[in-house]
């Protein structure tokens, strides 16, 4: 049949089709970018909405991650204070100190003499005159224990503390680890919170992109009809819209990175001020590192593509030549 | 090339647009569909172009039963047909060249081959000098010729046209019709729905006359 001969003429050869496939993808990639640049203001508004939605969970994540790191730094320098019974003299305390230094769990023991402590307290606290009225030194001897680096996990510290409590010369064992545990617990709650916020805002990103693409499809209804009439496959017609979603996601996450970093810079100044009030070590928030930025970019692009795919899957089927 | 076997089409909530239509169009044949508005001309063309589906009966095009064409194979079926509309269906934000190139780009031809074929098609309809223009700057007859160039650029075996001269004056209509005759002469099967009885009476081609969804008679033009 002549028909059959002509059917074969219609098709380019396989290699050419394969090569053209990539060229077309490449072209559509930039063609969709070109379409967005025709409406820069609308594009920017959508991308900004996406950027804000992505920046909130990303910023919270960065802050929490750094808070966790900070508290793990404290972990290694956590110390245990041993308050001796008041009837102990200096010699007995020194003997105990030597015994404790033999334990493998303990790296170092520092003795704070009760007389020296009283002097320091008198000069620093401003209660000097009131303290002069006391006939006896109210302060006990104090041993500050630094756990060795191999024994500083929470469980090991617990074991050490219970050992220390059994020593009969010891009046009170005070550890700084309790607040650390609480801080960890708070961070974990906050992390869950960030997870919830991130999920909700990811959904928002999907909906924003899907709605924007739905409008784009509606605007180009006539073009889609013509494409279908001349034999455009669904994937061919879908492609520019998918790339548009991808671009929105990419721009959105770029804006999010900029928002997060500029917020961190704005916060850092007063934060330095605050940390200098607490001690001499300056604590400041670092900017987003490369891996978190890449993760944010990738999730932005993925959400953009997914949102576009949702819209395209639902609306392209409805548009058929009449 | 086209075979209608007991084909009926009923739109939802309306009378039958086509009932029990049988006809056969041979490969390389050219025929006209005539009849009043609402007689079923457009519906018949839409069934061939897979824009609508038959309610009962079989439509066979190029040896393929259209009832068996699904969503995924439909685009490939349409690539074997050139479809021309009364309202041209051009993309007005693209140049004449880009409009005509579209079917080739969809099929995945290389840029060089696209260029050669688009130029050949535009040359055939006499619009090569307009390739960089936008469709809205052209007259109705010129726009219709762009849409014909787009329909034939793929070298389809079958051309379908729904009132291709409906918006054109008699002289322009005759020019367009001569184009269809030329394509038919090189072996393309052509089926045209038209109101323009005086025009087709000048041509020695089969006329299929529809009345209220049925074929009332078929004849050669000279004896109609």
Nearest neighbour of A231 by CB, restricted to B72, B103, B111 = B103
DSSP chain B: -EEEEEEEEE-TTS-EEEEEEEEEE-TT-EEEEE-STTSSHHHHHHHHTTSS--SEEEEEETTEEGGG--TTTHHHHHTTEEEE-TT----TTS-HHHHHHHHHHHHT--HHHHHHHHHHHHHHTT-GGGTTS-GGGS-HHHHHHHHHHHHHTT--SEEEEESTTTTS-HHHHHHHHHHHHHHHHTT-EEEEE-S-HHHHHTS--EEEEEETTEEEEEEEGGG-
Residue A280 confidence (pLDDT): 55
Residue whose tokens read 């140049």: B95
The answer as to whether A32 is a domain residue is: yes
**Closest by alpha carbon to A35, among A211, A213, A297, A210?**
A213
> Are A107 and A163 members of one domain?
yes
- When pLDDT is averaged across residues B148-157 and rounded to a whole number, the result is 92
What contacts A269, CB < 8 A, 6 or more positions away? Answer: none
Beta carbons of B113 and A12 less than 8 angstroms apart: yes
A113 and A36 co-located in one domain? no
CA distances from B86 to A222, A233, B160 (A): 15, 24, 11
Write out chain B residues lying below 8 Å of A24, CB-based: 105, 108
Could A233 and B110 be called an inter-chain contact, meaning their C-beta atoms sit closer than 8 Å?
Answer: no
* Same domain for A162 and A193: no
- Kindly state the DSSP code that residue A150 receives in the 8-state scheme: G
Residue B47 near residue B81, CB atoms below 8 Å = no
3-state secondary structure B106-149: HHCCCHHHHHHHHHHHHHHCCCHHHCCCCHHHCCHHHHHHHHHH
DSSP A285: P
Is A131 within the bounds of a domain? yes
Which among B21, B63, B52 has a CA at the least distance from the CA of B158? B63
The angle formed by the CA atoms of residues A265, A271 and A272, to the nearest 5 degrees, is 95
Q: N- to C-terminal Cα distance for chain B?
A: 24
pLDDT (0 to 100) of residue A152: 66
Surface of B (18-57) touching A: CB under 8 A: 27-28, 49, 51
Residue A2 lies in a domain: no
pLDDT (0 to 100) of residue B200: 87
Answer whether B110 sits within 8 Å of A20, measured CB to CB: yes
Name A321's Cβ contacts closer than 8 Å, sequence gap at least 6.
A225, A228, A229, B49, B51
Q: Going from the N-terminus, what domains does chain B have, and what CATH number goes with each?
A: 1-80+158-224 (3.40.50.300), 91-155 (no CATH)
Look-up of token digits 């966790």? A68
Domain match, A163 and A209 both? no
Which residue in this structure is represented by tokens 């996450």? A253
* Structure-block tokens of residue B185: 């002469």
Task: Outline where A103-153 has alpha helix (H).
Answer: 114-125, 128-132
Of A175, A194, A227, the residue at which a domain comes to its end is A175
Tell if the CB–CB gap between A225 and B89 is shorter than 8 Å.
Answer: yes
Between CA B35 and CA A81 the distance in angstroms is: 105
Cross-chain Cβ contact A2/B51 below 8 Å? no
Q: Do both A305 and A237 map to the same domain? A: yes
Any A CB within 8 A of B1 CB: yes
pLDDT tens per residue across all 322 residues of chain A: 344 434 444 566 777 777 777 887 888 888 888 888 888 999 999 999 999 999 999 998 888 888 777 766 665 556 788 888 888 888 888 888 888 888 888 888 888 888 888 887 777 777 777 777 777 787 888 888 888 777 767 777 778 888 888 888 888 888 766 677 777 788 889 889 989 999 999 999 999 999 999 999 998 898 999 999 998 998 899 999 999 999 999 999 999 999 999 999 998 888 888 877 776 566 677 888 899 999 999 999 999 999 999 999 888 888 888 7
Boundaries of domain holding A168: 79-175
> Do A214 and A306 fall into the same domain?
yes
Task: Check residue B39 and give its pLDDT.
Answer: 86
In a domain, A296, yes or no: yes
- Provide long-range contacts, Cβ within 8 A and 24+ apart, for A116-120: A117/A142
Among A158, A175, A192, identify where a domain stops: A175
Whether residues A47 and A96 share a domain: the answer is no
Identify whether residues A40 and A170 lie together within a single domain.
no
Q: Is the domain of A201 the same as that of A54? A: yes
Tokens of A121: 């307290």
Whether residue B88 is predicted with pLDDT greater than 80 in this model: the reply is: yes
Among A175, A190, A224, the domain boundary falls at: A175
A138 and A46 fall within a common domain: no
Q: How far is Cα A62 from Cα A64, in angstroms, rounded to an integer?
A: 6
Min Cα distance A252 → chain B (Å) is: 28
The whole-number average pLDDT for the span B178-184 is 91
CATH code of A134's domain: 3.30.70.3040
A320 with B90: Cβ contact below 8 A: no
- What are residue A25's phi and psi, to 5 degrees? -60, -45
Q: Give the C-alpha separation, B200 to A40, whole Å.
A: 52
> Would you list which residues of chain A are within 8 Å, Cβ to Cβ, of chain B?
1-4, 6-7, 9-12, 16-17, 19-21, 23-24, 222-223, 225-234, 236, 320-322
d(CA A103, CA B11): 93
Is residue B6 within 8 A of residue B20, CB to CB? The reply is yes
Here the tokens at position A90 are 């200096």
Residues in chain B, overall count: 224
Please answer whether residues A251 and A53 qualify as being in contact, where contact means their C-beta atoms are separated by less than 8 angstroms. no
**B12: closest CA among B49, B53, B42?**
B53
Is the Cβ of B79 closer than 8 Å to some Cβ of chain A?
A: yes
Do residues A228 and A215 share a domain? Answer: yes
Tell me if A1 is assigned to some domain.
no
User: Do residue A164 and residue A211 come from a single domain?
Assistant: no
Q: How many angstroms from the chain centroid is the CA of residue B155?
A: 13
Bridging pattern class, strands A142-147 and A106-112: antiparallel
Q: Tell me A1's DSSP state.
A: -
Q: How many domains does chain A have?
A: 2
A chain contacts of residue B90, beta-carbon cutoff 8 Å: 226
Strand partners, B21: B7
What is the residue whose two structure tokens read 């009364």?
A: B86
* Whether residue B224 has pLDDT greater than 80: no
B92-126 pLDDT, tens digit per residue, is: 989 999 999 999 988 888 888 899 999 999 998 88
Q: Say yes or no to pLDDT of B165 above 50.
A: yes
Residue A55, domain member (yes or no): yes
Q: Is residue A14 part of a domain?
A: no
């Amino acid at each position: 049949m002549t028909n059959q001969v002509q059917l074969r003429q219609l098709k380019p050869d396989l290699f050419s089709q394969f090569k053209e496939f990539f060229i077309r993808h490449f072209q559509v990639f930039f063609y969709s970018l070109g379409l967005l640049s025709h409406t820069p203001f609308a594009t920017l508004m959508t991308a900004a909405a996406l950027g804000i939605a992505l920046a909130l969970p990303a910023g919270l994540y960065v802050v929490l991650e750094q808070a966790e790191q900070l508290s793990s730094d404290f972990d290694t320098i956590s110390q245990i204070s041993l308050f001796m019974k008041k009837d102990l003299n200096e010699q007995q305390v020194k003997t105990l100190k030597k015994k404790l230094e033999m334990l493998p769990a303990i790296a170092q023991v520092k003795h704070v003499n009760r007389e020296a402590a009283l002097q320091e307290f008198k000069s620093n606290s401003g209660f000097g005159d009131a303290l002069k009225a006391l006939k006896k030194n109210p302060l006990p001897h104090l041993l500050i224990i630094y756990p060795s680096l191999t024994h500083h996990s929470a469980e090991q510290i617990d074991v050490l503390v219970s050992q220390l409590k059994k020593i009969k010369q010891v009046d009170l064992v005070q550890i700084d680890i309790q607040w650390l545990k609480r801080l960890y617990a708070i961070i974990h709650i906050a992390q869950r919170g960030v997870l919830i916020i991130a999920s909700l805002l990811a959904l928002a990103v999907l909906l924003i992109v899907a709605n924007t693409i739905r409008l784009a499809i509606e605007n180009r209804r006539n073009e889609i009809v013509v494409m279908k009439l001349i034999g455009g496959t669904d994937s061919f017609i879908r492609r520019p819209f998918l790339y548009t979603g991808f671009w929105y996601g990419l721009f959105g996450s770029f804006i999010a990175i900029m928002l997060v970093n500029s917020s961190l810079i704005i916060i850092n100044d007063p934060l330095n001020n605050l940390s200098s009030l607490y001690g001499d070590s300056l604590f400041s928030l670092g900017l987003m590192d490369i891996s978190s930025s890449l993760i944010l970019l990738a999730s932005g692009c993925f959400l953009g593509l997914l949102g576009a795919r949702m819209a395209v899957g639902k609306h392209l089927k409805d548009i058929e030549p009449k | 090339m086209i075979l209608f076997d007991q084909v009926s089409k009923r739109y939802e909530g309306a009378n039958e647009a086509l009932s029990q239509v049988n006809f056969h169009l041979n490969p390389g044949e050219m025929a006209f569909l005539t009849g009043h508005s609402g007689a079923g001309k457009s519906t018949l063309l839409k069934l061939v172009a897979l824009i609508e589906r038959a309610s009962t009966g079989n439509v066979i095009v190029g040896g393929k039963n259209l009832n068996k064409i699904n969503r995924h194979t439909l685009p490939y079926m349409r690539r074997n047909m050139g479809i021309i509309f009364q309202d041209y269906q051009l993309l007005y934000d693209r140049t004449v060249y880009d409009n005509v190139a579209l079917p080739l780009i969809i099929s995945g031809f290389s840029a060089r081959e696209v260029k050669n074929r688009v130029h050949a098609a535009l040359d055939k309809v006499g619009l090569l000098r307009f390739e960089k223009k936008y469709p809205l700057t052209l007259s109705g007859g010129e726009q219709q010729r762009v849409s014909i160039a787009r329909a034939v650029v793929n070298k389809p075996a079958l051309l379908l046209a729904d009132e291709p001269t409906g918006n054109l004056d008699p002289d322009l209509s005759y020019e367009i019709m001569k184009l269809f005759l030329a394509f038919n002469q090189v072996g393309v099967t052509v089926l045209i729905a038209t109101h323009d009885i005086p025009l087709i009476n000048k041509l020695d081609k089969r006329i299929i006359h529809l009345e209220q969804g049925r074929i009332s008679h078929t004849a050669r033009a000279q004896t109609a």
